[in-house]
Structure 1
Amino acid sequence: MTRGLLRLGLALAVALGGLAAVAQPAAAAPAFQLPFPCDQVWEGQTRTNHSPQNSVDFNRANDEGDPVLASAAGRVSRVANEGSTSYGRWIEIDHGGGWTSRYAHLSSQDVSVGTQVARGRQIGKVGNTGGSTGAHLHYEQRLNGADVRITFNGSQILYFGSRSYTSRNCGGGGNPYTPEQVCGSGYGVVDEQALGTVGRTYLLYNNSNGNNCVVTLKSVSVGTASAVSAFLEVQGEARGTDSGNFTHYAGPVRKAAPGKCVKWGGSVGSTAYTSGFEHCGS
């Protein structure tokens, strides 16, 4: 009896394979946040003739070149350039469970395919590339390849029309800073290391001058002074360190390292990371 029922169940599963697939519960959506730095206010516009219809365009005054952040943690799955058509320069992030997000019309792309990004990590800058008539960010959320209605901080945005939104993309533990903001213009993240759940240390590089930069961001006791450090050592030279009781981050520690290997790392409280000599020239 049991074997017969099992065979019957398997036959039904095969016969109704498509229906069974449809009946599977969708993966829970990531905790998406606005793709902009903490507390920034942006105007979001949705419209019935948008392609795809569930996407949103974001604008604010003089926004060209403004940072674009990952709206949720994930792996960069696409970095593309459509030239003067369609998305222009764009990025896709895979968040797992079938969920992805897209960021289009960028002026710069600061990550590469395969990069693991935390929510709040800068991935590019607002631009006017592709089929765009003015600087803005075109943003989408997708589930299993299909565009879906967008949510931020657990709430669906307005469809259809315009509304102002305040970013709560404040980094892990509410840290409002990104490593690019701390190190300054021209720097992009080339490596990063989580410090358990208490923070993250980053190595950045500036292609224009060959300088490296290290910063450690806290994700606990943010806004309260506590022990944080960041260090950078160019092979053959003395180590530079910034350590103390800081409210948000340690660093930036910058050193010129064109064509040279570096050792880098940092700590939050008793949790620390030290790399070997690596990234020789980048």
Structure 2
Amino acid sequence: MRARITPLGTLLALLAGLLTALVTTTPAQAAPLFKAPYPCGQKWTYGHHSAEVRQALDFIRADGGTTAGTPVLASASGTAYRYSQPSGAGNYIVVDHGSGWKTYYFHLNAYSVANGAWVAQGQQIGTTGSTGNSSGAHIHYEQLYNGVGQPIVINGASLAPYPGSYGSKYLTSDNGCSGGGGGKYWVDTFANATGYAQANTNDAQGVLNAGTNYVYCKVWGQEVRDASGNFNHWWLRTDLDTVYAGKNGNGAYVSAYYLSRWGNDEARDNNGATIPSC
């Protein structure tokens, strides 16, 4: 009995089907735990419009701060590459996170890292701007896997479905909240302290209750002084216990004047360690 010979075209079709099955069933490499591309405690609104490439989102500040000039942070660690496209993306950075994952940051006013530099999650890579084809300062942000745009996921949660304009959805960042100092620093405060959006008394966000609290880091700002002559210029970034309506209690600033154990212009934790700068 003669063996039956399968036509060459049929064999090729079977092989093509097998290859397709292998490709479509190969799981994607797990994405990094991406965080928002702007500093800890800041609240931004985001939107997507039809002219956007891939599945990008545009972010602008919604917490009373100025969008232009705000630091742009790496949403995960990786290698940063600098590019410029004056007619489109403007000054932009691509961070290669490995395993096929990359993030894009368009329209930067300035770069903050060298081309090819390794960057940590939360490290500043540029400042927000409006370079290239842009009508106003914002962060154009993308997440790509093997060159294909993906729905934006922050802290493991998808931001899809995207709004078509700003003002309906918001995201508060926890990127860089450790302040580069290795985590939280525990301090005692002697009275309830008002927390502000920045290191000044212009925009109250809520209240930090008296007692033992954690802080992330410190910045130099407006002097707080009482009638007895006690004062402090340091402000401590922390999360508030009570948040005023419409305000943001994460990453607010409380004057180090309220520290129980230390004197003028000191900012130390309960063990006496100097709280690091933000």
Question: Structure 2 vs 1, CA of residues 218 and 46 (structure 1 numbering), >3 Å: closer, same or farther?
Answer: same
The residue type equivalent to 2:112 in the other structure is D
Give the paired residue count.
176
Contact 1:46 1:159 in 2 (8 A): no
Contact 1:93 1:102 in 2 (8 A): yes
**Aligned to 1:129, what secondary structure does the other structure show?**
coil
Contact 1:88 1:106 in 2 (8 A): yes
Question: Offset of 1:112 from its aligned partner?
Answer: 2.3
Question: Offset of 1:100 from its aligned partner?
Answer: 0.5
Q: Which residue of 1 aligns with 2:76?
A: 72
> Which structure is richer in relative contact order (CA contacts within 8 A, separation 6 or more)?
2
User: Following the alignment from structure 1 to structure 2, what is the Cα–Cα distance between the partners of residues 71 and 121?
Assistant: 8
- The structure with the largest alpha-carbon Rg is 2
User: Following the alignment from structure 2 to structure 1, what is the Cα–Cα distance between the partners of residues 273 and 16?
Assistant: 60
1:59 has 2:73 as partner:
no
Q: Which residue of 2 aligns with 1:29?
A: 31
Question: Structure 2 vs 1, CA of residues 30 and 13 (structure 1 numbering), >3 Å: closer, same or farther?
Answer: farther
Residue of structure 1 aligned with 2:117, choices 115, 118, 121: 115
Contact 1:41 1:167 in 2 (8 A): yes
1:219 has 2:222 as partner:
no
Question: Structure 2 vs 1, CA of residues 58 and 23 (structure 1 numbering), >3 Å: closer, same or farther?
Answer: same
Question: Structure 2 vs 1, CA of residues 158 and 16 (structure 1 numbering), >3 Å: closer, same or farther?
Answer: closer
Q: Which residue of 1 aligns with 2:273?
A: 246
Q: Which has the higher strand share?
A: 1
The residue type equivalent to 2:42 in the other structure is Q
Q: Which residue of 1 aligns with 2:51?
A: 50
Taking only the aligned residue pairs, the percentage that are identical comes to 36
User: Following the alignment from structure 2 to structure 1, what is the Cα–Cα distance between the partners of residues 19 and 115?
Assistant: 33
Residue of structure 2 aligned with 1:151, choices 150, 153, 169: 153
TM-score norm. by structure 2 comes to 0.58
The residue type equivalent to 1:167 in the other structure is S
1:165 has 2:128 as partner:
no
Contact 2:151 2:160 in 1 (8 A): no
TM-score norm. by structure 1 comes to 0.57
Contact 1:224 1:247 in 2 (8 A): no
Gapped regions of structure 2 (runs ≥ 5) = 1-13, 188-267
1:119-157 superposed Cα distances (whole Å, 9 cap, x missing partner):
000000000100001111100000100101001111111
Question: Offset of 1:247 from its aligned partner?
Answer: 5.7
Gapped regions of structure 1 (runs ≥ 5) = 1-11, 178-216, 226-242, 253-282
Question: Offset of 1:19 from its aligned partner?
Answer: 3.2
Q: Which residue of 2 aligns with 1:98?
A: 100
User: Following the alignment from structure 1 to structure 2, what is the Cα–Cα distance between the partners of residues 167 and 101?
Assistant: 17
**Aligned to 2:169, what secondary structure does the other structure show?**
strand
